[in-house]
Structure 1
């Protein structure tokens, strides 16, 4: 006897696994995930509905869900029915792992990811921003317990995992590139300081502020959504993103006719002047 549970007619697909993932993506579109829905998804997973699915097919439904109004709800539903562990074990593993906040309190990394995705939806972020928020903590699941909630060297662990995820699902290159940039730079955004004009200029250059403004803006949106995911923030903008945006404005038009070293020096001095970092200028 076929043990596959009945699915609503509008969810029947060529492969039952696609119906399961479509159900998850519908959760992200606001349909909710009640107990019956989660039970159905769990039963489908238990009877092997995901077996044999092509990664690109899985990505199509994941991308649809990530672009929904409630992408965090989709991730929660996938985890609660056991599917996340199968298709994204790297992300499933970070649930329950603590992350320190700027107030020295702790937050569950899974809760942080869910909240960041919800914030991204609220801000109508593009797919690559939402994907970066989903995967950029992937190196923190196996941080040495004696170091928690600090995650030493998580970037080295996360980068190959992000590569594997992108290869598994044939994720678009723009998503892969922004995820790796966010992995390397988001924590540096949080540490940006107006009295460190040289490092600010270098960060702006690394993150595409001058050569690829669209990429820079997307990175700033990743940082903003991650910042507000901690739940204790007020306002609409990330103060460090405001700082970097002002620093970029201070450098407008300075690189014309200059080589790379001269441009870096000019930008650092312009930032120092804009933030009145006289001590840096004298040094």
Structure 2
């Protein structure tokens, strides 16, 4: 029985890149042997165990055989005669097929170290094409290491395209699409994830609403991009600079789905709902994306809005009860504004709306109640006082 550190931990150690994940492969063991040593079985599809002290994952070396479509269409074979090289061969990229033994020696049967040095993302074997999730993973790795100069090998990109053409990508399940998308949105160059999916044709299958934006020209010649898709990616880049949160980046990216609608369909967020439903995006992601799509234009011109519209904006974004989501909304709007104006020094509308919210929150509710007002009368008086406070914030030059 021998244990090897594999995958991301070895890859990032050789790169000098921060990594928190540790995956281990055990060669020459059986489930009975693992359990006898105190390892706790947790794998549903194949033998994976938690270390009794560190709780890190240890998987028995295995091979796999394609038996159906998609991520789950495999049977696995685990036995004491499976070698480390056998196990590494089934991995996606050469840079993920490197192992380290207990003495710190590197085992690299598929030249992953060479590809690390040359900054290439290359598949290990033709078996790559059997799992459509690998399309998403490669796009995610491209987003993670883009700033280091990594690129996808031409033969790997060609294989990804063939997987889309053959229909293998159509068997991706929503949960896996969301998991990889969420992780990719947290990477350094999140926009590269979308670019790679579009380059191999997978974006049209997975996120068709986004893909269509690249065919929609921007009418304003002063905009920094020629089509709505490219403009959306510029806003994602700005969001990535302002926040590491995938939630902020996701909502910012999707705002363009509303911008691509004909004028008579303004604020129709059906495309966002359809996309979120297809990839099983969590409720908070969907809610923020819808708010940003509906109200980012209002936010940009908040200082010139009538007090009634400012109050409507605060109410519709639920700023009084959910201040953190309101801050997220403002951050998304700032990202969009910066994608249109790279020289923007400070996003003043956010300051104005924060002031308006604080002014409204400072209203003495007990004083209103002391007037004997209840129900609708109480609400009407509160709104009237809110409007008065907002009006007082208006600068003379904005009248």
TM-score (norm 1): 0.82
**2:316 pairs with 1:206:** yes
Give the structure, 1 or 2, with the largest relative contact order (CA under 8 Å, sep 6 or more). Answer: 1
Deviation of 1:41 after TM superposition, in Å, equals 2.7
- What's the counterpart of residue 280 of structure 2? 170
Q: Structure 2: any 5+ residue segments left out of the alignment?
A: 1-65, 67-90, 97-122, 369-377
Deviation of 1:254 after TM superposition, in Å, equals 0.8
Distance 2:137 2:207 in 1: 16
**2:183 pairs with 1:73:** no
Select the structure that is richer in strand: 2
Confirm or deny: 8 A CA contact 1:101 1:230 kept in the other structure. no
Matches within 5 A, 1:107-146: 107-141=226-260, 143=262
The higher radius of gyration belongs to 2
- What's the counterpart of residue 267 of structure 2? 155
**2:123 pairs with 1:8:** no
- What's the counterpart of residue 211 of structure 2? 92
Distance 2:170 2:340 in 1: 36
- What's the counterpart of residue 357 of structure 2? 248
- Which residue of the other structure, out of 36, 44, 47, is the alignment partner of 2:166? 47
Q: Rate the CA distance shift 1:33–1:239 in 2: closer, same or farther, 3 A.
A: farther
Q: Which moved more, 1:191-200 or 1:202-211?
A: 191-200
Distance 1:196 1:132 in 2: 26
Distance 1:23 1:82 in 2: 14
Q: Which moved more, 1:174-183 or 1:101-110?
A: 101-110
- What's the counterpart of residue 270 of structure 1? 389
Confirm or deny: 8 A CA contact 1:129 1:218 kept in the other structure. yes
Matches within 5 A, 1:12-27: 16-27=131-142
Distance 1:107 1:204 in 2: 33
Distance 1:130 1:100 in 2: 25
Distance 2:298 2:398 in 1: 22
Distance 2:187 2:379 in 1: 42
Q: Rate the CA distance shift 1:13–1:176 in 2: closer, same or farther, 3 A.
A: farther
Query: Residue by residue, what CA displacement relative to the aligned partner does 1:92-141 show, whole Å, maximum 9, x if unpaired?
Result: 00113234559688742111111111111111242222221222222454
Q: Rate the CA distance shift 1:247–1:54 in 2: closer, same or farther, 3 A.
A: same
**2:293 pairs with 1:183:** yes
Q: Rate the CA distance shift 1:104–1:88 in 2: closer, same or farther, 3 A.
A: closer
Q: Root-mean-square deviation (CA), in Å?
A: 3.0
Q: Which moved more, 1:34-43 or 1:106-115?
A: 34-43
Distance 2:200 2:144 in 1: 18
Distance 2:207 2:288 in 1: 18
Q: Rate the CA distance shift 1:154–1:42 in 2: closer, same or farther, 3 A.
A: farther
Q: Rate the CA distance shift 1:227–1:100 in 2: closer, same or farther, 3 A.
A: farther
- Which residue of the other structure, out of 61, 66, 69, is the alignment partner of 2:180? 61
Query: Residue by residue, what CA displacement relative to the aligned partner does 1:12-70 show, whole Å, maximum 9, x if unpaired?
Result: 88961111110011112124444625334323323333132211111111111111111
Q: Structure 1: any 5+ residue segments left out of the alignment?
A: 144-150
- Which residue of the other structure, out of 224, 240, 260, is the alignment partner of 2:379? 260
Confirm or deny: 8 A CA contact 1:131 1:179 kept in the other structure. yes
Distance 1:20 1:222 in 2: 28
Distance 2:221 2:293 in 1: 18
- Where 1:193 maps in the other structure, the secondary structure is helix
Q: Rate the CA distance shift 1:242–1:101 in 2: closer, same or farther, 3 A.
A: farther
Distance 2:398 2:190 in 1: 46
